[in-house]
Amino acid sequence: MANLADFPDTELLAAVKRCESCPDLPLGPRPILQWDTSARILIAGQAPGSRTHAKGIPFDDLSGDRLRDWLGVDREAFYDPNAFAIVPMAFCYPGTGKGGDLPPPPICAATWRRPLLSRLSNVQLTIILGQYAATWHGDGARRSVTESVAMWRQTLPKLVVLPHPSPRNRRWLAQNPWFEGELLDVLRVRVAEILASR
């Protein structure tokens, strides 16, 4: 493969969308992301689910509705690539195992993540969803998602870890009322400040 650092922005994005490094995926390759070098907020998630694979639009589901509510933004703002970059740990649906979706295949992050993120020079806030993204973006310490989320006072205004916004996380939200009662108010203000400064 050619040196990705030499690719112009549009060619890099096109190369990601053509990627077929994992031909054995259960639904086949279909890279899904939202990326523009002018983005101010980076959302770093896990990998698309089967519904996202079918639609080809990140977070166009109940998880996305909850995430937009957490951020205090509507669909128009969320799907503006000049505002939000959505760059998960893997861009294709990895399939399902016993406990839910399989982990993101590491080849995706190893191939594409640094070339894409290195060009996001305007990012003022990184929003991390879930354990795999938290580990990749973290300081090397092994923490649970709850421990990482609870560090929000130390990591904001530049970074915040959130639980996955899946409806299946209702129990986590009930067990951690400080998340909705304290963190989200601060996060919404931060997101609004960034979007207003464009």
pTM beyond 0.85: yes
pLDDT tens digits, one per residue of 160-183: 999 999 888 899 999 999 999 999
As a whole number of angstroms, the distance between CA 122 and CA 138 comes to 20
Domain layout of the chain by residue ranges: 4-196
Torsion of Cα atoms, 108 then 114 then 118 then 120, to 10°? 30
Residue of higher predicted confidence among 3 and 121: 121
CA distance 179 to 127: 14
* Burial degree of 32 (CB within 10 A; 0-12, 13-18, 19+): buried
Cα-based distances in Å from 131 to 5, 121, 136, 144: 28, 24, 9, 7
CATH of 4-196, one of 3.20.20.70, 3.10.310.40, 3.30.300.20, 3.40.470.10: 3.40.470.10
